[in-house]
Amino acid sequence: MNNKQPLQPSLGALIKKRDFFKGVSIAAAILWLFLLGILLYFYTHNKNTVTLIIPVIAMPVAFLPVLLQIKSLTAAIKSRES
């Protein structure tokens, strides 16, 4: 039998992946704030806000896996550095 260990990504690759996911989460936060601003504008001007409520509520839930991935990558980087 072939009992090879799976290849571990290098520390540089982990840092690069973490930085990518940080950029994605920052972009999602900016987009969420933009949608929230549009929702408030439509709400104050008595327009139909039902179509905007769903994305504003669902967006943080949809990007939760990205935040969890950042947390696990940060823990892996810290364990490799020490």
Residue 1: inside a domain, yes or no?
no
Residue range 48-67, pLDDT digits in tens: 778 778 888 899 899 999 99
- What total number of domains does the chain contain? 1
Rounded Cα gap, residues 54 and 60, in angstroms: 11
Whether the pTM exceeds 0.85: the reply is no
pLDDT higher than 90, residue 8: no
Q: What is the pLDDT of residue 2?
A: 62
69: domain range? 12-81
Q: What is the mean pLDDT of the chain?
A: 89
Residue 32: inside a domain, yes or no?
yes
Residue 46: inside a domain, yes or no?
yes
Rounded Cα gap, residues 25 and 60, in angstroms: 10
pLDDT higher than 90, residue 6: no
Q: What is the pLDDT of residue 3?
A: 67
